[in-house]
Structure 1
Amino acid sequence: MSDTPRPTKLIVALDTQDTAQARQWATGLAGHVDMIKLGLEFAYAAGFDAVSDVAGTQPLFLDLKLHDIPNTVASAVRSLSRLRPRLLTLHASGGRAMMQAARAACDEAFPADARPQLLAVTVLTSLDDAGLAETGVQGGARDQVLRLGALAMDSGMDGLVCSAHELAPLRQELGRAPVLVTPGIRPAGSDQGDQKRIMTPAQARDAGADWIVVGRPITRAADPAAAAAAIAAELAG
């Protein structure tokens, strides 16, 4: 694979339980973002028919963070094939067998030209070193991300979801092969919210992100399309 960095692209997180609101955002941001993200909040509240309806023809990041025994995760991946997401998440902490089962189910259930990239979530951006220690993980977020990232790529994943602060170490350890998707991105001056390990769009781009995920700084802006355009311009700068 070429060592040339891929251009960093923008995903908008449509975090709402309201189908009409999600549809309004998706419609208003079409052409201003590269992909939309729908996750647990929306899928649980509105259902998967609404996920399909809101996504329409736009590329979909389906952020469900699957985590269960291998057979159950494999069955879930097969069940999601009708939605045709471009990106689909599962937890790397589910282990090698679970990730390999998801890989096999994805390759079996999706047409070859419509297979999503499977992304393993390493450490949630709401967790810092102290939060990880409370769960029994020693050594800090960086070490845990590198451990899980290497395991995920060895288990057939296409990429990883990680904090912007782990982008550079992952690139150093794993090279350009993983698709790296980075939530917790906050434009300069915006509210940090519940994220602990954050960066600006340009900082994440320079650290090696392929995709950045931005939610409230876009969707809660007075002009969401203008906010998205400003972030896209920062990424292109």
Structure 2
Amino acid sequence: MTNSIYVALDFPNWQETSTFLERNDLKGVPVKVGMELFYNEGLKVIEKLKKNNHRIFLDLKLHDIPTTVMKAMHVLSKLEVDIVNIHALGGSEMIQRAKEGLTNGNPTYDTKLIAVTILTSMDEQMLHQELKLTDNVTEAAVHFSKLAHTNGADGVVCSVHEASAIKKACGEEFLTVTPGIRLSHTKADDQKRIATPGFARQHGADYIVIGRSITKSDHPRENYEQAVREWEEALCN
């Protein structure tokens, strides 16, 4: 097991989540809890996962006026998860207030605040035509990373393909959390900017998130172990 690989628990309820973890001997692995599971089960799902020694990335992508985000983070700080996130697009004051909510809500626990840059489901065409952003994907991701770094975030969610540029712009200590990870024999689904675990580590990722390559496979435990091997062997090649 490694603390750098989070398995995305993209299930609708605790029963399916618990069955998946137990059946595939994945108790205790780091996990990502997203909107569907959290909104359906609430705070109790975090408590249950923590009882089974899972490290948790709470992926709610908060994006609202600064005061609302601050108050929400104040509440979430009590859960003592490892990572929570917001959208960098919320701007400098929102990022600052999010960090304030985490710090003041639970000053004894170091939950990392991560800001989403450009979603891995987006490509350059969408960026230009729908969002009307003139930068290319890497430039936009670096811009939002600098904004997050300046205003107190601990790192960003980004594609693997922008991670090294973000490290160069914000420093090696600035964390990069990279979804869109697929094992070599699995399909991309709705992700456009994807990579393997080994590629991710070699190109600046500190943490990776893997979902369907594990949760939708016929052999989840084997695929998880393969991901760990690829991650751990990457720097040896």
TM-score, length basis structure 1? 0.92
Query: Which residues of 2 match residues 67-216 of structure 1 at below 5 A?
Result: 67-112=63-108, 114-133=109-128, 134-216=130-212
Query: Deviation at 1:50?
Result: 2.5
Q: 1:39: which partner in 2?
A: 34
Task: Determine what percentage of the aligned residue pairs are the same residue.
Answer: 36
Q: Greater CA deviation, 202-211 or 41-50?
A: 41-50
Query: Deviation at 1:24?
Result: 2.5
Match of 2:27 among 18, 27, 30: 30
CA distance in 2, matches of 1:171, 1:151: 14
Query: Deviation at 1:142?
Result: 0.9
Matched, 1:52 2:47: yes
TM-score, length basis structure 2? 0.92
Q: Does the 8 A contact of 2:63 with 2:69 survive in 1?
A: yes
Q: Runs (4+) of structure 1 moved beyond 3 Å?
A: none
Q: How many aligned residue pairs are there?
A: 228
Query: Deviation at 1:55?
Result: 4.0
- Structure 2: unaligned runs, 5 residues or longer: none
Cα offsets for 1:210-233 (capped at 9, x unmatched): 101000111112221121111101
Q: Does the 8 A contact of 2:81 with 2:111 survive in 1?
A: yes
Query: Deviation at 1:46?
Result: 2.1
Query: Deviation at 1:8?
Result: 8.0
CA distance in 1, matches of 2:98, 2:20: 31
Q: Does the 8 A contact of 1:204 with 1:212 survive in 2?
A: yes
Match of 1:62 among 58, 62, 72: 58
SS of match in other structure, 2:217: coil
Tell me the amino acid that sits aligned with residue 87 of structure 1. Answer: I
SS of match in other structure, 2:189: coil
Aligned-residue RMSD, C-alpha: 1.5
- Structure 1: unaligned runs, 5 residues or longer: 1-6
